[in-house]
Structure 1
C-alpha cells in the first residue's frame, strides 16, 4: 500500500525521540536525494557483485590479475 510521504513521515517522526528526529531531518535535508540514491545503489551493486564473485571465482587464468574478484 503506497502512502503519501507528507502523511507517512510525520507519523514516523512522532514515534521517535527529539534528538533522533533532528538527526533524521538533518540527514534527509542536508544530503541531496541523488547523492543518497547513488550511495544506496552503489552499496547494493557492490554487495551483489561480491556475491557473484564468491560464486564464480576463476583466478587461475591469465586474466586473474586483472579480475577485481581476485
Structure 2
C-alpha cells in the first residue's frame, strides 16, 4: 500500500493504470492468503487448540495493515 502510494505520487505519468491494477491484485491475493492463515488460527483458538493468546494477537497485528491494503486494492479494481 505504501509502495503504491509512493508510486502514484512520484511517477503519475509513467505508471500505466494496468500496472497499478496488477499490483493491486497481487496485494489482494497476498492479503487473502494471510486472512486464510489467520482464519485457521482463529478456528484453532476457538476450539482450544491454541493455548496462548500470543498467536491469536499476532494474527491481528499482522492483518491490520493488510486489511487497509485489501480495501484499496478492491477499490482500484472498480
* Pairwise TM-score range, normalised by the shorter structure: 0.3 to 0.5
Higher RCO (C-alpha 8 Å, min separation 6) = 2
Larger helix fraction of residues: 2
Higher Cα Rg, which structure: 1
TM-score (norm 1): 0.39
How does the TM-score come out when normalised to structure 2? 0.36
